[in-house]
Structure 1
Amino acid sequence: MPRFLRQFGLRTLLLFCFVAAVCFGLLRWRMDRIHRQHAVAKELLERNARIQWQTSGPKWLRDVVGAYYFTELVMVDLQMRGQQDQELSLLGDLPALERLYLAGNPLISDQGLDHLRELKHIRRLSLWGTGVTDNGLSKLSHFDALEALDLKDTQVTQAGLARLSPLPKLKELYHRFEFTDEGLQAVAQLPTVYFGELQVGEISQRGFAQLPKIRFSKITLQNANVTDWPWYLYDHPTMSQIELHRVEITDEQAKQLIATNDLHYVILNDVPVSDEILPALVALGNGLTLRLKGTKISANGFLKHLGDRQPGRMHISDEIISMSSMGIPGMYLSYTGQVPLHDLPGLANLHDVGFLSIETSYPKIDLSHLPPLPSLELIVLDVPINDTALARLAPQLGLKTIIVSAGDQFTPTGLQALKDCRSLEELLLVEDARMTDEHLAAISECRQLRSLAIHSHGEITPQGIACLADMPRLTMLTIAFEDQIENDVLAEAAQLKKLEELTIIESDFMDENVPSLVGMTNLKELTIYHSRMSPAANERLRKALPGVKMEVFDR
């Protein structure tokens, strides 16, 4: 015996040997476990699986021994890899596995889950699209760490969900169920699960009685005919979104339902509520998503109570009013129903909007109630607009762009009123907005314009184009010709020395139109749609305008 060991008694030496044997045994066990995991990883990669490793343990020890023995597989993704039950057996050698994705393997059944029995650390498990049934869920009862489970498109029934009740940490459950009474009774036994959305079909009072026990963010109810069903959702502890389709509810019940929950998402479709509930909706504050369709709420009532929300964008048509704004919190308010644009006093309740679009088939619209909107910069009028409507735009001091794409009811007098829009930079009169020389003369008084689009129906002459020369800031011009391109009109446009961008659309641009443009050396950009120029004419035009960026689109 070496001299330094003689100072220890026999018992101490035996204890030392025992401890050393245990330590070396544990080390050997650890090494074998890691070797097995690397062997499994190699086979998984041959199956085109995605895997992820995680390193643990003290850094000083990893530096001494090497990271190899402190790295374990924590994620395996075998989604849509054609896996079968027996092929899951190798997963039993991955005791540190936390995330396992088996989605899209229909040949995996309940028997395949037997191979996962030793995986005590699984936190996320995806069984979407597999053949797992209710019996398979019972085999997950030992997954004490499981937090998220995906059961979409499996053979699991709503009643079978009750078998998940032994899982103490389960929080997320993904499914495609439209719950019945039986399904709601099952999920009521899962107090830790939080449903992002709970879709509920036609259920009885027994099913509604389960809702206060279930944690969910959004509920979608259809065909609810139980008289007092809203009572079960008053003061719900987690509900923040509600979607109702074809349900029976009174105004009083709806007001109570809204007032007792912190809602930020409300959809009412074919629900018999009236303007009486609008004050309750207003009280929900900003950041609200609201869609109303098939209700008894009126368009004017909608605007009266919600028009002051200052949306970034607003669209009005014969059957829709929508208001939205980006940012945090965002907002989307939508009304679908009859919108009487010939008599819409609710417009007076608008406080501000950045972009306004109006579209209607009414022969006449009334904008007399439209108040000054400080942030309004763009308005699109796809309506048969008249002089009175154009005059209502003059007080919009921040308005930069007006687009009119329908009707010819306005006269030069109506256009002349736009000169008071001091910020107006773009006026686009397209399609059915018929222009004459008198219209262009009125437009020329809008000295602040930078961009103009007009549609010639053969009633614009060179004299009308000449009026535009008095506009000191006009640098962009778009001309659409209804029939054939009028060379004399183009030739007069060439005399607009401040013009920098010219766009020609609608009619075919032929070789004979080229001479009208060759003198426009002041241009920076020329765009021609519907070109039928020959290659020689195209080349001639490009040589005549060498410094011009030219885009030509053949018909």
Structure 2
Amino acid sequence: MKRIRFSLKFILALVFCLASVCAYFAHSAAKRRDAIRALQEIGGFSYQHESSVIPEWLRETVGPEYFPGMENIGATYQKTTDAHLAVLARVPELKSLSTNHAWMGSQVGTMDLTDSSNFDDAPLITDAGLAELEAASHLESLTLFHTAITDEGVSRLRYMRNLRNLAIVSNKITDHAIPELIKINTLQYFSAVGTSISDEGVDKIREALPKCKVIGRVNKEKAEPSDATERRSRAI
């Protein structure tokens, strides 16, 4: 029986490939491990829409950080800082990031999102945090709730080539941010609820991005009074 022989070059190339693969997985695991710690610190969470093919016992035995599973991340706006965003943005498979998961979403339409007195904590995320998000190359959906980002900071979002859904809620951005927003031509959904973007500005965004569903800055119930409210106003 003829013995199979491998050249030294082949063996070295094989070792190099294996080492590269191991280094990649170790590096990715370190990023996920840092993200898990950050989420524990800020009270956030991560979840998958799709069912995982990795058995749960194997994930728990080896460690969740060694397997892709952090496509969707929710964070609390009261505790999330620019430094936290820098860690979360480096999760390799991250597709969706929201900073409003602790907020009472059921109050949309009954709460004035433009009035900062409705929130106990000062916003912690700034333009520097948006710059950190550039590392999230696969990010498709981003919700920024009650942050301190500015019109100038919005310019950082145009570098996110896969961004489809964007919600900038309860922020002080104005019509001056529109030239930067319309550069994100991948957008399919944009919400400006609670911002200072005018109705005219919303129309400009709709005109520039015809394939994008744009939600204006005013809550629906505030813009369109209920039938009961209309009846009372007519009676007066």
Q: Scaled by the length of structure 2, what TM-score is found?
A: 0.67
**Residues 1:25 and 2:20 are matched in the alignment:** yes
Question: For the residues of structure 2 that align with 1:86 and 1:28, how far apart are their CA atoms?
Answer: 25
Alignment of 1:100-499 (within 5 A): 100-103=97-100, 106-176=123-193, 177-180=197-200, 182-196=201-215
Q: After the TM superposition, which segments of 4 or more aligned residues of structure 1 sit over 6 Å from their partners?
A: 54-58
- SS state at 2:161 partner: coil
1:368 matched to which residue of 2? none
Aligned Cα root-mean-square deviation (Å): 3.9
Give the gaps of 5 or more residues in structure 1. Answer: 200-217, 222-242, 246-266, 268-290, 295-318, 321-335, 338-555
Shift of 1:77: 2.2
**Residues 1:91 and 2:108 are matched in the alignment:** no
**Residues 1:70 and 2:89 are matched in the alignment:** no
Q: Over residues 320-371 of structure 1, what are the superposed CA-to-partner deviations in whole Å (9 max), with x where a residue is unaligned?
A: 9xxxxxxxxxxxxxxx78xxxxxxxxxxxxxxxxxxxxxxxxxxxxxxxxxx
Question: For the residues of structure 2 that align with 1:18 and 1:135, how far apart are their CA atoms?
Answer: 48
Partner letter of residue 76 of structure 1?
I
Shift of 1:118: 0.9
Q: Over residues 451-484 of structure 1, what are the superposed CA-to-partner deviations in whole Å (9 max), with x where a residue is unaligned?
A: xxxxxxxxxxxxxxxxxxxxxxxxxxxxxxxxxx
Q: Is the 8 A contact 2:70 2:94 kept in 1?
A: yes
**In the superposition, relative to structure 1, how do residues 57 and 21 fare at CA in structure 2: closer, same or farther (>3 Å)?**
farther
Q: With a CA cutoff of 8 Å and minimum separation of 6, indicate the structure with the bigger relative contact order.
A: 2
Q: Over residues 42-92 of structure 1, what are the superposed CA-to-partner deviations in whole Å (9 max), with x where a residue is unaligned?
A: 2320322223358898769x97x9684323322332223333323433224
Q: Is the 8 A contact 1:117 1:142 kept in 2?
A: yes
Give the gaps of 5 or more residues in structure 2. Answer: 101-118
Q: Over residues 148-175 of structure 1, what are the superposed CA-to-partner deviations in whole Å (9 max), with x where a residue is unaligned?
A: 2121221211241231233243122112
Correspondence for 1:51 among 21, 46, 49: 46
Q: Is the 8 A contact 2:44 2:75 kept in 1?
A: yes
Partner letter of residue 91 of structure 1?
L
Question: For the residues of structure 1 that align with 2:49 and 2:204, how far apart are their CA atoms?
Answer: 40
Q: Scaled by the length of structure 1, what TM-score is found?
A: 0.32
Structure with more helix by fraction: 2
Q: Is the 8 A contact 1:124 1:147 kept in 2?
A: yes
- SS state at 2:149 partner: coil
Q: Is the 8 A contact 1:109 1:131 kept in 2?
A: yes
**In the superposition, relative to structure 1, how do residues 19 and 54 fare at CA in structure 2: closer, same or farther (>3 Å)?**
farther
- SS state at 1:71 partner: coil
- SS state at 2:69 partner: strand
Question: For the residues of structure 2 that align with 1:198 and 1:78, how far apart are their CA atoms?
Answer: 23
Shift of 1:197: 5.7
Shift of 1:38: 1.9
**In the superposition, relative to structure 1, how do residues 37 and 88 fare at CA in structure 2: closer, same or farther (>3 Å)?**
same
Question: For the residues of structure 2 that align with 1:70 and 1:82, how far apart are their CA atoms?
Answer: 27
- SS state at 1:73 partner: coil
**In the superposition, relative to structure 1, how do residues 102 and 52 fare at CA in structure 2: closer, same or farther (>3 Å)?**
same
Partner letter of residue 102 of structure 1?
T
Question: For the residues of structure 2 that align with 1:55 and 1:14, how far apart are their CA atoms?
Answer: 42
Flag the structure with larger Rg. 1
Structure with more strand by fraction: 1
